[in-house]
Structure 1
Amino acid sequence: MTLPVTMQAAVLAGPGDADAFTLQTVPTPQPGPGDVLVRVRACGVSYRDIVERNGTYRRDVVFPLIIGLEIAGEVAALGEGVSDLKVGDRVCSKAFSACGQCKYCRSGRETTCRRRQPTRGGYAEYCCLPQDVWVRTPDDMPFETSCALGPGAGVALNAVRDTAHVQLGDTVLVTGATGGVGLPAVQIARLAGARVIALTRSEDKREALMTAGAHEVVVMAADGGFARAVKALTDGEGADVIIDTVGSRVWNEGYDSLALHGRYAFVGQLFGEDISINPARIFFKRAQLLGVGSVSRAQLADVIAMTASGGLKPLVGKILPLAEVAEAHRLVEKAAVIGRVVVTP
């Protein structure tokens, strides 16, 4: 396969608003040892993309930069030493590559690998990343579906199953329930046998959340309140598990919604504020505060299998060409679309 010398990419010269992207012709990356070059067919627009673009998220961010971590495509070329993929394989990405050798990788905690590197580069025609990033997908799975499985559904699986340990009979509250992690979290919690309460800011999204598997939907009040509604639905007890994909701006109401012996799983932080709590409130409630990492290869493989079998049904809300990446970012920032917004080179 002859690869083009150059490619089109949406490049950020520095942090800014959605119009900060410029479509440029740049050199096509070449795979080094252990790398896999993928022809990008679809890239989901995640909220990490938003906070990297606007300057809120600064970890390993160096401009100029091509972002985009929710990638699906076809293997175009292999670097030396890549053994479990071949040219033409369909693959999707996880959010970080791991070294596979440190104590965390060797003990099943690869998402906290000390030498992990973030996945980026999906807003382009080709993307070159370490082999560890890529997991094979079925030939009949649409790229628009598979692109968001790792950083979306895979993180949701990590949160619901492997961190919060949701069990049959639990009541689970999902914040940001129409987002890229929130929506699959609703589905996965329902599959686990939980009663699911979905939190949203818009009455217009109630039907979609019920279709996705929510038993009840709570629409946030104009002042940001929702704890009273959650308590009313649970006979004053609150939720056994909170899957929080929003962060600081729902923290106070979220913690008030948590039942005794509840598990509060932090998945996302969309804003820059800190939170505070009197430690006595934690031990009086016997609460567990849990940090959810990214997605492992095993978790990504699991959600690929769940999707292929029909148990998990990722929702793609909007597909736009890469040239309209600014509009894609605006839609995500406004939460204007239910389901994933995807760009296609």
Structure 2
Amino acid sequence: MEETPGHKRQTPGAEGAHAGRPAGTTEDKSPTMRAVVLSEPGDVNRLVVKDVPLPRVRPGWVRIEVKAFGVNESEVTTRKGLSAPDVTLPRVPGIECVGVVDEAPSCSGLHAAQQVATMMGGMGRSFDGAYAQYTLVPVDQIIPFDSELPWETLGALPEMFQTAYGSLSTGLDLRAGQTLLIRGGTSTVGLTAAAMAKDLGATVLSTTRRPERARMLRAFGVDHPIIDDGTIAGTVREVCPDGVDAALELTGTRDLQDTLRSVCAHGTVCFTGALSDTWTIQDFSPLGYIPNGVRLTAYGGAATDLPAEAFQRQLQAIAEGRLKVTIAKTYRGLESVREAQTSLESGAVPGKHVVVLD
């Protein structure tokens, strides 16, 4: 992968941080930018690159010059028209990005050309997201950082770091010395969670439905790869006879009851994702579904759940080689978004699909 050189910081102007230049202008001289716009649900051809107005900074919001963004399953779901009612069209998709501050109110504490990450919080759903040269987001979901890692690496991180970190901390309160099961281990969040858990000092069991990917799990620090045939509780208890201390459920409610049976009394299962697109449980009865003494939690947090200090520590761990990041493929330019979503849907290559704009 081609490495992108680090940015050069600029001094904020008197009225606030301002660094970038708009991509163009309309006939009435108002500035414009290039963006991917979804006007109606459908296949990837509904993702159209066009000129749109450059978003104007308003109180409490920050404009970011986008350098890179990850392409995610939720954006495919939005494109297909299967997202929750909070998604309105037309919309610029994209739930995460990294870049530099282009313009921000003076009271924000941010300065021009400062490296920042952002994710979720309605981004790309209730307001325009990251598939653009610039994006405008609330200041409270900005995570500043300082790193010399290339943009394609940084662009892979915000959403999967936030989700993995929040699941392990808020959802599971995972501690050093505990055992962790990850159901859906070769997903980007699963791989990230495994690396984070090992860095914390946990013993990790992680599943894959493809035997050939067991080696990849070991490369991310997984102590016990498990081939998932739909029923793994017995296999887990061959490794941990009393059950694991914690389990991260990423495949959905289809496998949730079996995951619960893999956990020890007073252990915890955190429901975070649904790779199988199964989110609900029909005729749910807690007494018949949850084993005695096992705790069931859920996690679906926001950028505010990932402190800047924690994000910076994780970046340092990557730079030092203690934390691995799997990038399936890097794409260049907004015109490559269709290809990126198509590749993501195929599932042929594990890891994050990242689009780089500079």
TM-score class, shorter-chain normalisation, is 0.7 to 0.9
Query: Which residue of structure 2 lines up, in the alignment, with residue 90 of structure 1?
Result: 115
Q: In 2, Cα distance between the equivalents of 1:158 and 1:290?
A: 12
Match of 2:237 among 225, 231, 246: 231
| Structure 2 gap ranges (5+) | 1-19, 24-30
The 8 Å contact of residues 121 and 141 in structure 2, kept in 1 or not, is answered as yes
Q: In 2, Cα distance between the equivalents of 1:324 and 1:2?
A: 23
Query: 2:151 aligned with 1:151, yes or no?
Result: no
Q: In 1, Cα distance between the equivalents of 2:305 and 2:228?
A: 35
The 8 Å contact of residues 69 and 119 in structure 1, kept in 2 or not, is answered as no
Question: Deviation digits for residues 25-51 of structure 1, max 9, x if unmatched?
Answer: 222212112221111111101222122
Per the TM alignment, residue 292 of structure 1 is displaced from its structure 2 partner at its CA by 1.0
The 8 Å contact of residues 172 and 194 in structure 1, kept in 2 or not, is answered as yes
Query: Which residue of structure 2 lines up, in the alignment, with residue 132 of structure 1?
Result: 140
TM-score where L is the length of structure 2? 0.82
Alignment root-mean-square deviation, CA: 2.4
Query: 2:290 aligned with 1:265, yes or no?
Result: no
Per the TM alignment, residue 299 of structure 1 is displaced from its structure 2 partner at its CA by 2.1
Q: Give the letter for the 2:82 counterpart.
A: T
Query: Which residue of structure 2 lines up, in the alignment, with residue 30 of structure 1?
Result: 56
Q: Give the letter for the 2:344 counterpart.
A: V
Query: 2:183 aligned with 1:175, yes or no?
Result: yes
The 8 Å contact of residues 244 and 262 in structure 2, kept in 1 or not, is answered as yes
Structure 1 residues 285 and 192: CA distance shift in structure 2, 3 A: farther
The 8 Å contact of residues 151 and 356 in structure 2, kept in 1 or not, is answered as no
The 8 Å contact of residues 38 and 127 in structure 1, kept in 2 or not, is answered as yes
Sequence identity (%): 28
Structure 1 residues 335 and 232: CA distance shift in structure 2, 3 A: farther
The 8 Å contact of residues 163 and 265 in structure 1, kept in 2 or not, is answered as yes
TM-score where L is the length of structure 1? 0.85
The structure with the larger Rg is 2
1:115-130 mapped onto 2 (5 Å cutoff): 120-130=128-138
**Aligned with 1:293: secondary structure?**
coil
Question: Deviation digits for residues 232-283 of structure 1, max 9, x if unmatched?
Answer: 3323x33221111221232233223223222010111341552254322466
Query: 2:295 aligned with 1:288, yes or no?
Result: yes
Structure 1 residues 259 and 15: CA distance shift in structure 2, 3 A: farther
Q: In 2, Cα distance between the equivalents of 1:336 and 1:120?
A: 29
**Aligned with 1:68: secondary structure?**
coil
Structure 1 residues 168 and 328: CA distance shift in structure 2, 3 A: same
The 8 Å contact of residues 150 and 295 in structure 1, kept in 2 or not, is answered as no
**Aligned with 1:285: secondary structure?**
coil
Match of 1:317 among 321, 324, 328: 328
Q: In 1, Cα distance between the equivalents of 2:291 and 2:231?
A: 23
Q: In 2, Cα distance between the equivalents of 1:283 and 1:179?
A: 25
Q: In 2, Cα distance between the equivalents of 1:249 and 1:40?
A: 37
Q: Give the letter for the 2:87 counterpart.
A: V
Q: In 2, Cα distance between the equivalents of 1:149 and 1:315?
A: 10
